[in-house]
Amino acid sequence: MSDDLSRLTSSAYSQALEVIAAVEPRIAEATRQELADQRASLKLIASENYASPAVLMTMGTWFSDKYAEGTVGHRFYAGCQNVDTVESLAAEHARELFGAEYAYVQPHSGIDANLVAFWSILAHRVESPALERIGAKNVSELTEADWESLRKELGNQRLLGMSLDAGGHLTHGFRPNISGKMFHQQQYGTDPVTGLLDYDAVAAKAREFKPLVLVAGYSAYPRRVDFAKMREIADEVGATLMVDMAHFAGLVAGKVFTGDEDPVPHAHVVTTTTHKSLRGPRGGMVLATEEYAPSVDRGCPMVLGGPLSHVMAAKAVALAEARQDSFRTYAQKVADNAQSLAQGFLSRGANLVTGGTDNHLVLLDVSSFGLTGRQAESALLDAGVVTNRNSVPNDPNGAWYTSGVRLGTPALTTRGFGHDEFDRVAELIVDVLANTQPGTTKAGGPSKASYVLGDGVADKVKSASAEMLDKHPLYPGLELS
Neighbours of 146 (CB within 10 A): 16
**Cα gap 410→372, rounded to integer Å:** 25
**CB 417 within 8 Å of CB 340:** no
Annotated catalytic, 460?
Answer: no
Annotated catalytic, 260?
Answer: no
Neighbours of 266 (CB within 10 A): 22
DSSP H helices, 25-80, are 25-39, 53-59
471, amino acid identity: K
| Active-site pick, 67, 199, 226, 328 | 67
Annotated catalytic, 67?
Answer: yes
Residue 348: helix, strand or coil by DSSP? coil
Partners of 162 in beta bridges: 188
Partners of 446 in beta bridges: 440
How would you class 471 by CB atoms within 10 Å of its CB: exposed for 0-12, middle for 13-18, buried for 19 or more? exposed
**CB 107 within 8 Å of CB 280:** no
Annotated catalytic, 152?
Answer: no
Neighbours of 8 (CB within 10 A): 14
Annotated catalytic, 26?
Answer: no
Listed residue (220, 204, 202, 219) closest to 363, CA to CA: 220
| Active-site pick, 223, 276, 315, 415 | 276
Annotated catalytic, 69?
Answer: yes
| Active-site pick, 279, 282, 315, 424 | 282
Q: Are strands 361-365 and 404-408 parallel, antiparallel or unpaired?
A: antiparallel
| Active-site pick, 87, 112, 165, 244 | 244
Listed residue (38, 27, 47, 35) closest to 10, CA to CA: 35
| Active-site pick, 48, 69, 336, 423 | 69
Residue 273: helix, strand or coil by DSSP? strand
Neighbours of 135 (CB within 10 A): 7
| Active-site pick, 9, 271, 272, 273 | 273
**Cα gap 216→428, rounded to integer Å:** 34
**CB 188 within 8 Å of CB 211:** no
The catalytic residues are: 67, 69, 244, 273, 276, 282
